[in-house]
Structure 1
Amino acid sequence: MLRFGVIGLRRGQSFVRICQAVGESEVTALYDVDGETAAEVGSDIGAQAFTDLDKFLEADIDAVVIASPLPYHARQAIAALDAGKHVLSEVTACHTLEDAQALAAAADRSSAAYMMAENYRYLDEVELLKRLQDAGRFGDLYFGEGEYLHDCKDLWYSTTGELTWRGRGGLSVYCTHSLGPLLYITGDRVKSVSALTVPGAKFDASVDHPTMDLLQMVTDGGRTLRVRVDHVSPRPHQMAYYALQGTKGAFESWRGFGDESKIWLGDVHEPSRVSGTGAQWHSLTDFADEYIPERLAAPPEARQGGHGTSEYWLLQDFIATIRGERAPSIDVHRALDYTLPGIYASASAGAGGVPQLVPNSRNFPAPLEEEMGVTTV
């Protein structure tokens, strides 16, 4: 039985439930700056509660789940890796270039494993699309699109009235839910990014917050990717929209209000014509039995994480990594492939959309400038 510690008990309680559901692990230690919450959750599950990170990392645990606010992820991961604890970190991996380099170095020197918990990469729909792509059903896949539209204004302030990281802007940094699945499906890495920020509508006169960021990227595979990140606009949530276009097929996610995810594949569906009866959308689920049968057989308790069965499969992979049965599915360098484009997109948006080259963390260490300069492509 693997012993887990959880950092951050807002989002972290979902991982507590999933650890209990998986059956191969138990949560024995908890850390949160809110001592009352830590004590309450600890009492409920029989775990030690800590408000001191160093003492928490001295506990008898094998691995740490980091579910704290985004700005703390990298430094807490580094501390855990240096303490010899395996790390499963919530997204994003980091929010600055300095932390990116420090995290990569810590993961490389540690005997413990690092994995980023990008749960959207584990959605059943994303896994189905990945397997269709690997089977060549889309032909030459040359375009991908993602959107994360989630009105989070209620989370701009903490319970004590302080501005949270969500309230401070920097939308594009939080792009991994859209970008991560696209990079997983294609197997690519982003080479360059340009971004534009839509100026903030004044929902709160005291907060200078953009309304949305629009990112356009070119990958090392020659593909074009486009991502929209919007945590502000008042509207129904659409947090997992994706679209794909290839030479032999196309896909679009559901848009809500009775819609469903749809696909057209030229090798089995109607041909595409300029006029008349031609290509028609078909249900993506038509391919589920053939391509993801084990996902359809997931037990009911697999849905304890809050995003379908994604956290369940994610934790299964992390446990297999700890046991030495597989490499991390999203190791530190893949985590930075998902994360760094968002950091550079912020710089691009600040420079009016000038494209920026995105470094490959596998080439670290590389000198980091005190301020990120604009590099035209």
Structure 2
Amino acid sequence: MRGFVQSNTAPVTHVGVVGLKRGMVLARWCERLGLRIGALCDHDPDLLTAAAREFPGAARLTKWEEMLDRGLDGVVLANDFDQHAALAIAFLDRGVHVLSETAACVDEAEGQALIAADKRSTATYSFAENYVAHPHVRLIKQIVAADEIGAVELIECDYLHGLAPADVAALTGDPRHWRGRISPTAYCTHTVSPVLDVTQAWPTEVTALPVQSEDRPMATVLAFRLSSGALALTRQTFLQGEPDSHSSWLSVRGTRGLAESLRMPGEAAWSVRWRSEPWANDGHLRDETIVPPPLTLTGDSTVPRGQEGSALIVAAFRDTVTASVPPRVPVRPAVAASLVGVYGARSLAEGSRPVALPDVSAW
């Protein structure tokens, strides 16, 4: 696996950032990868002031609509989790490339509108789903794509935070905050997107199960069938045993073997176990651990493991904007992943019955 090397010929591109918490992480990678931050937007004056110290040449705005006519080439949307689609559509209609954070839509109508906007725009929609680009996910995708473990039969993915009950309550108890108003299944794209990316399949049906017995369980298991016939199981939000690989763990069982990230502390959690069964390997068991190589940007600068996903997603966005490279995660997989959570909420509300998902690939 090669490290990403920054192009020295990419033209200067001006990007705006909406939402200056998660948005600042992406803004820093934008600047490091040759994109210029032209505008910053947040309704919190303290966040805006702090961001302006890092990017003094950027315009400071409190309303995202003020960005529409500033001649930006691209925009990073990192505002509230459930409020991305309307902004993305508005910027796409102005010919501004969009890199949007982790929920593409909150219902089917928004998803259809977003795909339609991407179709008619001269610009592109990219999903800022950094979990598809973390080192263990990239390694497993390579193994699957090379047919080393056969056809995927079962794929599992975790995105878990092992927080104390008081900390969970502080995050989810305020209905004015997006965490207090989204459904228990909504924040699923950090698990579903890697599943779709590794398998290159579409979700067709979902069943959501609560882990806790409360009316609003803060941990859920999603079981969904893929268009390839494989079964996917994902576990998300607040359960103990948070993986050290940026809260992520991935396992794929194929018809001839297994590839999964290690449930280990520290640096080992980014590594992948690859097992090929004796009957499928000339009578010899192959069971080895693969350590992902370092990722470099320029010169000898190595990207910290936990930041590789964000760095590569921003690098891909830069290449999309400046060189017309197709988006790393385009609009349809983004909408499909988000709708697993939407229809999962319906399944949960109806006693965990299976719910059919729309065929987003045909939209």
TM-score scaled to structure 1, two decimals? Answer: 0.82
C-alpha deviation, 1:91, in angstroms = 0.6
Q: Does the aligned pair in 1 maintain the 2:82–2:182 contact within 8 Å?
A: no
Aligned residue runs from structure 1 range 163-182, under 5 A: 163-182=176-195
Aligned residue runs from structure 1 range 38-53, under 5 A: 38-46=48-56, 47-53=58-64
C-alpha deviation, 1:215, in angstroms = 0.7
Give 1:30's match in structure 2, choosing from 15, 23, 40: 40
1:253 corresponds in structure 2 to 261
2:230 maps to 1:223: yes
Distance, in Å, in 1 between the alignment partners of 2:44 and 2:170 is: 16
Give 1:196's match in structure 2, choosing from 200, 205, 209: 209
Residue 310 of structure 1 aligns with an amino acid whose one-letter code is G
1:351 corresponds in structure 2 to 350
C-alpha deviation, 1:320, in angstroms = 1.4
Any idea what the Cα deviations from partners look like across 1:203-249, whole Å, max 9, x if unmatched?
xxxxx631311111111111111001123x45545621111101222
2:71 corresponds in structure 1 to 60
Any idea what the Cα deviations from partners look like across 1:122-177, whole Å, max 9, x if unmatched?
1122112111111110112211000111156647658xx66412123513221111
From the superposition, tell whether residues 157 and 48 of structure 1 become closer, same or farther in structure 2 (CA, over 3 Å).
Answer: farther
Q: Does the aligned pair in 1 maintain the 2:193–2:337 contact within 8 Å?
A: yes
Q: Does the aligned pair in 1 maintain the 2:160–2:240 contact within 8 Å?
A: no
SS at match of 1:307: helix
Distance, in Å, in 2 between the alignment partners of 1:15 and 1:301 is: 18
Give 1:212's match in structure 2, choosing from 219, 223, 231: 219
Q: Does the aligned pair in 1 maintain the 2:139–2:272 contact within 8 Å?
A: no
1:372 corresponds in structure 2 to none
Q: Does the aligned pair in 2 maintain the 1:168–1:209 contact within 8 Å?
A: no
From the superposition, tell whether residues 194 and 42 of structure 1 become closer, same or farther in structure 2 (CA, over 3 Å).
Answer: same
State how many pairs are aligned.
342
Any idea what the Cα deviations from partners look like across 1:65-95, whole Å, max 9, x if unmatched?
0011111111111121122211000111112
1:375 corresponds in structure 2 to none
Q: Does the aligned pair in 1 maintain the 2:156–2:250 contact within 8 Å?
A: yes
C-alpha deviation, 1:29, in angstroms = 0.1
Distance, in Å, in 2 between the alignment partners of 1:217 and 1:129 is: 20
1:204 corresponds in structure 2 to none
From the superposition, tell whether residues 169 and 156 of structure 1 become closer, same or farther in structure 2 (CA, over 3 Å).
Answer: farther
1:319 corresponds in structure 2 to 318
Any idea what the Cα deviations from partners look like across 1:293-339, whole Å, max 9, x if unmatched?
xx6444565637x8331111111211111124321121111211221
1:136 corresponds in structure 2 to 147
Residue identity (%) = 29
From the superposition, tell whether residues 154 and 61 of structure 1 become closer, same or farther in structure 2 (CA, over 3 Å).
Answer: farther
Q: Does the aligned pair in 1 maintain the 2:274–2:287 contact within 8 Å?
A: yes
1:126 corresponds in structure 2 to 137
2:335 corresponds in structure 1 to 336
Residue 85 of structure 1 aligns with an amino acid whose one-letter code is V
Q: Does the aligned pair in 2 maintain the 1:147–1:240 contact within 8 Å?
A: yes
C-alpha deviation, 1:39, in angstroms = 3.2
From the superposition, tell whether residues 133 and 362 of structure 1 become closer, same or farther in structure 2 (CA, over 3 Å).
Answer: closer
256-265 or 99-108: bigger deviation: 256-265
Identify unmatched segments of 5+ residues in structure 1.
202-207, 290-294, 365-377
SS at match of 1:70: coil
Aligned residue runs from structure 1 range 226-241, under 5 A: 226-231=233-238, 233=239, 236=242, 239-241=247-249
Residue 193 of structure 1 aligns with an amino acid whose one-letter code is V
Any idea what the Cα deviations from partners look like across 1:274-302, whole Å, max 9, x if unmatched?
xxxx85742122xx46xxxxx64445656
1:374 corresponds in structure 2 to none
